[in-house]
A and B are shown apart, each in its own frame.
Chain A
């Protein structure tokens, strides 16, 4: 069965610290990979996505993620976090179904708190 694992449920960092959030997925076929973010009181929004090509993708607000196919991983990174990065981060996979549609599978999320 397809699944997405996020190993860190809660992360607390000081401003300017580096961030890496782990994400591993389980699926044998071609997948598209995403990170979504939910800031306090706001809706889920896309942070970045990987479809193909360069495995290092850059998103908004200085975030980047690296797809490592051999490890089934898509870890999120940011060199220097800011207080405004406090949010919940969700890794997600979508894969084509035989019906021609696709289905998203989300991880359980990582709550990041950045201390000023």
Chain B
């Protein structure tokens, strides 16, 4: 167990709807990053939060947004859902944002299906 928990584990939405995914980071970790893993693909970096500020972003449109709270938990919000947003969304926490330790601690993911 990593101590990173995500909710919900599974959800189904329809095109155009909005979704919020939640993540609690491992105790002592101040950095949270989110990844999208489509079927048959590796995780793709969406963005990273450090001490409540977004400090890194991948090639995802603005309808993917997030928040980090003072307790370092985080949310991923996706607006105007599209069929291609169907994927496993992974949250990972780490004790720093500088990459010095290198290790990410992953949750088990939230599987989103968009119909």
Contact = CB atoms under 8 A, between A and B. Distances in A.
Given A45-B106, A90-B43, A109-B42, A103 B2 contact: no
B7 to A, nearest CB: 14
Contacts of B45: 103-105
B97 to A, nearest CB: 5
Interface stretch (A12-20, A60-68, A73-81, A94-102): A94-102
Interface residues of B, number: 27
Contacts, number: 70
Given A32-B102, A34-B102, A101 B97 contact: yes
Contacts of A46: 103-104
Interface size class of A (residues with CB under 8 A): 20 to 34
Contacts of B90: 44
Main secondary structure of the interface of B (DSSP, over half): loop
Given A103-B45, A103-B56, A105-B45, A45 B40 contact: no
B106 A44 contact: yes
Contacts of A104: 33, 35, 43, 45, 104
Contact of A102 (B41, B42, B56, B109): B56
Given A90-B42, A106-B42, A108-B41, A101 B99 contact: yes
Nearest to B50: A101
Counting chain B CB atoms within 10 Å of each CB, which of A49, A101, A103, A107 scores highest?
Answer: A101
A90 B45 CA distance: 14
Contacts of A107: 42
The 6 closest A-B pairs by CB, nearest first: A102-B99, A106-B42, A44-B106, A101-B56, A43-B106, A106-B43
Given A44-B90, A96-B98, A105-B45, 15 more contacts: A4-B42, A32-B99, A32-B102, A36-B104, A43-B2, A43-B108, A44-B43, A46-B103, A100-B97, A101-B55, A104-B45, A106-B43, A106-B44, A108-B41, A109-B42
